[in-house]
Chains A and B, each alone.
Chain A
């Protein structure tokens, strides 16, 4: 079930760090990972990425993979340069106090799914 980024921010009690104007974007699925190569290999466009990594490669990976928004879990805040880069790409960044498992579980309980359950032709 799709949801808007604004709705996600509310469910995850997340602060929005940039691109607040793009929070009406609708995401089709979620991907929780700290492995950027996995994101590049398995994620689809219009995906929300949840991650514990806060280096600039996360923002570049998101831009390259067509990710619609990024949630940093466990209250981790990216450095200012990274936020500036996301602003440049028009990529909304959020910080949630919840740890990875709980953040993913909260979104799953609201009906959101990952690529292995709702990606086209990718069901295990």
Chain B
């Protein structure tokens, strides 16, 4: 667990992990909705739930579409949520490019589902209060999203 969540939110604690299946376009999004419901039961504010769910959903779609499957871990602190989304896929060769709005390597099948506009990673960052991404060719991709009540 990397530092940075405390003192704004308190020390994060591991809550749960979910598997994300590669290429499961029909089921993609179910993990994020399960995470949203979990956080809702714990009493997080609607504004926190919404940002967490949006970031989780875009990250989950990326793991399904590009990451070859992976998982989403949920950590919570009294006043914060941390999501860690990781996969062992191909990684992102040029991260600066991937973080730009509009840049995408999506296939026509992905675009038909309404994804592949190159908005995912920038929107995950926008919804995060702290955002870290670790990736390298052949090394997979790991996103860490921290959300505090605003």
State whether A55 touches B36 (Cβ < 8 A): no
CB contact list, B26-78 vs A, under 8 A: 26, 28-30, 32-33, 36, 46, 50, 53-54, 56-58, 61
State whether B58 touches A37 (Cβ < 8 A): yes
CB contact list, B116-140 vs A, under 8 A: 116-120, 122-123, 126
CB distance from A59 to the nearest CB of B (A): 9
Assuming the A-B contacts A37-B58, A45-B50, are A64 and B36 also in contact, with contact meaning beta carbons closer than 8 angstroms in the complex?
yes
Chain B residues whose CB sits within 8 angstroms of the CB of A39 once the complex forms: 114
State whether A40 touches B57 (Cβ < 8 A): yes
Chain B residues whose CB sits within 8 angstroms of the CB of A34 once the complex forms: 114
State whether B54 touches A55 (Cβ < 8 A): no
Partner of A38, one of B26, B57, B119: B119
25 contacts between A and B (CB under 8 A): A35-B117, A35-B119, A36-B114, A37-B116, A37-B119, A38-B119, A40-B58, A41-B119, A41-B123, A45-B46, A53-B113, A56-B26, A57-B29, A57-B114, A60-B29, A60-B30, A61-B29, A61-B57, A63-B36, A64-B36, A64-B53, A64-B56, A65-B54, A66-B50, A89-B33
**A interface residues with partner B (beta carbon < 8 Å):** 34-41, 45, 51, 53, 55-58, 60-61, 63-66, 89
State whether A64 touches B113 (Cβ < 8 A): no
| CA–CA, A87 and B114, complex, Å | 21
State whether B123 touches A57 (Cβ < 8 A): no
Chain A residues whose CB sits within 8 angstroms of the CB of B113 once the complex forms: 36, 53, 55, 57
State whether A37 touches B120 (Cβ < 8 A): yes
Main secondary structure of the interface of B (DSSP, over half): helix
Find the B residue at minimum CB distance from A88. Answer: B33
Residue B112 is within 8 A (CB to CB) of chain A in the complex: yes
> Could you give, for residues 89-123 of chain B, a 1 whenever the CB lies within 8 Å of some chain A CB and a 0 otherwise?
00000000000000000000000111111111011
Chain B residues whose CB sits within 8 angstroms of the CB of A66 once the complex forms: 46, 50
Find the B residue at minimum CB distance from A59. Answer: B29
CB contact list, B1-48 vs A, under 8 A: 25-26, 28-30, 32-33, 36, 46
CB distance from B78 to the nearest CB of A (A): 24
Assuming the A-B contacts A37-B119, A40-B123, are A53 and B114 also in contact, with contact meaning beta carbons closer than 8 angstroms in the complex?
yes
Find the A residue at minimum CB distance from B26. Answer: A56
State whether A57 touches B36 (Cβ < 8 A): no
